[in-house]
Structure 1
Amino acid sequence: MHRIRRLVLLVLSLVTIFASALAYAEPAIWVVKGPHATVYLFGTIHALQKDDPWRSPKIDAAIQHSQTLWLEIPNIDDAASMQPLLMQLGMDQTHPLSTRLTPDEMVKLTKAANSVGLPGGEAMFESFKPWLAALTLSIAPLMQAGYDPNTGVEMELKPEFVKANKPVKGFETAEQQMHYFADMPEKVQIDFLNSELDDFDSAVDKFKQMLAAWSAGDVEALDKLNNADFRDKYPDLFQILVVKRNRKFTAQIQDLLKGDSVSFVAIGAGHLVGKDGVPAMLEKQGYKVTRE
């Protein structure tokens, strides 16, 4: 069960996680206003090294001003409750992963698993569906390098709002997030796995480059590093995991803008940059999105 709890944390870390240690950070934050409502948009980092800085006066002011925190999912810190979902949607005891992959893909999987010292090597993946193997491999080298989902931005934001008696809400549920992956056709799941295997050896270096861009507020570089290859090499997967979700986030944020409250929206940084990002989608709907 310890392994399952650890895997749940990996699943909750999803698609876009950036981290590193810098002396000072100024990540991008945007503000959108409706007739009576205000929404702050902030891109989160789902895994950090302990004490990695990310706060700035602008971010702190927006947090203090906000009445409600909106995350991708509200119970990001409740791994135990996700275990049954992970077993149901991510495991398949009757169709071993090795029967779904080519010999060359299995060689890459074995090399990746052994390089980060995963228990049992590639054998631990035999009962995994391809999407869960991909998610596990997306964060395993980062965790080996000291980055931890337990120290991500959301893990700091949520208790801060709870302590202030401010509501914490979610755009999605953990089950919905898992279904984005589990409902993908098997070919797309294997594409996802191959994308992680192809980038496995350079994952940590790329991770640090993305954080440097995120921390400096360089949204153009962040889009290039985080989304460009993904968008070009795996367009179907990009549509499912990024564009489709961004459209839903945008629609829900539009509903918030019709109200009269101040909301702090904190979702994965990759969802806020580029032509397919939430700020761009809001602008297409006629809203003025201002960089703070």
Structure 2
Amino acid sequence: MTLIKKASFGILLFLVQLLSYNAKAQEGQNSLLWKISGNGLEQPSYLFGTIHMICKSDYFMLPQVQKALKESKAFYGELNFADIQEMKKMQEMIKSETPLSQRISSDQYQIAAKLLKSNLNIDIEEFENMSDLGILSTITYKSFPCKDIKMYEIELLQMAAGKKTGGLETVAEQAEIMSSMAGIDTIIQMLQDLNDKDQNLTAKMVEVYKKQDIQEMIKIMNETSYMDTDNYDLLLSNRNHRWIEKMPAIMKKQSTFFAVGAGHLAGETGVLNLLKLQGYTIEPVTK
């Protein structure tokens, strides 16, 4: 897997996560790893909440996560990271046949150009042949606080070598969600926020992730300018319900380790509660 392809997956995943940490955490759920059992399962499965991109200096891998993955027969992420065709689709989705200067107004172009130069020292011409999704993804990557980045899904995939792999959704499905939000207005807002209240959002999110403090993560993400009711449904509720429709059949076939953005775990429409409502026993794995 090349660095560019790794980055493409990581950027989209992190962007989805950055815009989706807005669930209401249930008290006491300060764990990233959860055991799923009962409801007819012959062997337990596991659900792990990731932060999709993290600086190498902040990266950690819990021993209980390694143990759970080793004991599982299959590894499923939000996307199937081992699918080469999926990765090729990702590369295509960041391109645009219509130049940026022709698909937005002159005023929007000038505002974006000024913000890109002042905040990231990037000339807007670099984005001329990128899609809005590609532009937003690149801004996310460029604004990251380090250059040496680790991606949990890639690390887990390497640890899962030899196991069955799969995804709970496709690149096209995930990109469609992001494309509905990744317009020029969102791009400009993100650039403005780099020098505003969201400037240190990533650093704060990483710190609370390392503490496995779901509630504090959500409080931080509630400060962002990206979330409203419609986007909440798009990014969290609707996707969680679709995943829950697929997970029972996967778990019935074999013990499976699922890795999804940590923002999908908690809340009334979070994956944990939806599994409980289906009759599964959900337990935190802390050691």
**TM (normalized to structure 1)?**
0.77
In structure 2, the CA distance between the partners of 1:28 and 1:197, relative to structure 1 (3 Å rule), is same
8 Å CA contact 2:80, 2:86 repeated in 1 = no
**Structure 1 residue 286, shift from structure 2 partner:** 3.6
1:254-273 deviations in whole A, cap 9, x for unaligned? 3234x152211111122223
- Give me the whole-angstrom Cα distance separating, in 1, the residues matched to 2:231 and 2:109: 18
Map 1:102-141 → 2, pairs under 5 A: 103=107, 106-108=110-112, 110-118=114-122, 121-141=123-143
1:106-163 deviations in whole A, cap 9, x for unaligned? 4255323553233xx1122233333332222223210x53352xx211121111111x
In structure 2, the CA distance between the partners of 1:273 and 1:210, relative to structure 1 (3 Å rule), is farther
- Give me the whole-angstrom Cα distance separating, in 1, the residues matched to 2:139 and 2:62: 32
**Structure 1 residue 3, shift from structure 2 partner:** 11
Tell me the residue number matched to 2:244. Answer: 250
- Give me the whole-angstrom Cα distance separating, in 2, the residues matched to 1:231 and 1:127: 27
**Structure 1 residue 213, shift from structure 2 partner:** 1.3
- Give me the whole-angstrom Cα distance separating, in 2, the residues matched to 1:243 and 1:192: 21
In structure 2, the CA distance between the partners of 1:27 and 1:116, relative to structure 1 (3 Å rule), is farther
Tell me the residue number matched to 1:271. Answer: 264
- The alignment partner of 1:128 has SS state of coil
- The alignment partner of 1:16 has SS state of helix
Tell me the residue number matched to 2:153. Answer: 154
Considering fraction of residues, name the structure with more helix: 1
- Give me the whole-angstrom Cα distance separating, in 2, the residues matched to 1:207 and 1:174: 24
**Structure 1 residue 240, shift from structure 2 partner:** 1.7
In structure 2, the CA distance between the partners of 1:7 and 1:283, relative to structure 1 (3 Å rule), is same
- Give me the whole-angstrom Cα distance separating, in 2, the residues matched to 1:77 and 1:12: 16
Q: What percent of counterpart residues are identical?
A: 21
1:74 aligns with 2:80: yes
In structure 2, the CA distance between the partners of 1:254 and 1:206, relative to structure 1 (3 Å rule), is same
In structure 2, the CA distance between the partners of 1:5 and 1:139, relative to structure 1 (3 Å rule), is same
1:96 aligns with 2:90: no
8 Å CA contact 2:120, 2:142 repeated in 1 = yes
**Structure 1 residue 28, shift from structure 2 partner:** 1.8
1:169-212 deviations in whole A, cap 9, x for unaligned? 21122233223233x2xx77345434423432355621111111
1:262 to 238, 255, 270: 255
Tell me the residue number matched to 1:8. Answer: 8
- Give me the whole-angstrom Cα distance separating, in 2, the residues matched to 1:72 and 1:54: 20
Q: Gapped runs of 5+ residues in structure 2?
A: 20-29
Tell me the residue number matched to 1:49. Answer: 55
In structure 2, the CA distance between the partners of 1:85 and 1:264, relative to structure 1 (3 Å rule), is closer
- Give me the whole-angstrom Cα distance separating, in 2, the residues matched to 1:101 and 1:281: 43
8 Å CA contact 1:39, 1:256 repeated in 2 = no
- Give me the whole-angstrom Cα distance separating, in 2, the residues matched to 1:40 and 1:84: 29
8 Å CA contact 2:82, 2:165 repeated in 1 = no
Aligned residues: 270
- Amino acid across the alignment from 1:152: M
- The alignment partner of 2:54 has SS state of coil
1:28 aligns with 2:27: no
1:32-61 deviations in whole A, cap 9, x for unaligned? 113224221111122222253422232232
**Structure 1 residue 277, shift from structure 2 partner:** 2.0
Q: CA RMSD in A?
A: 3.4
8 Å CA contact 1:43, 1:267 repeated in 2 = yes
1:59-79 deviations in whole A, cap 9, x for unaligned? 23212221211111122695x
**TM (normalized to structure 2)?**
0.78
- Amino acid across the alignment from 2:100: P
**Structure 1 residue 281, shift from structure 2 partner:** 2.3
- The alignment partner of 1:217 has SS state of coil
8 Å CA contact 2:74, 2:163 repeated in 1 = yes
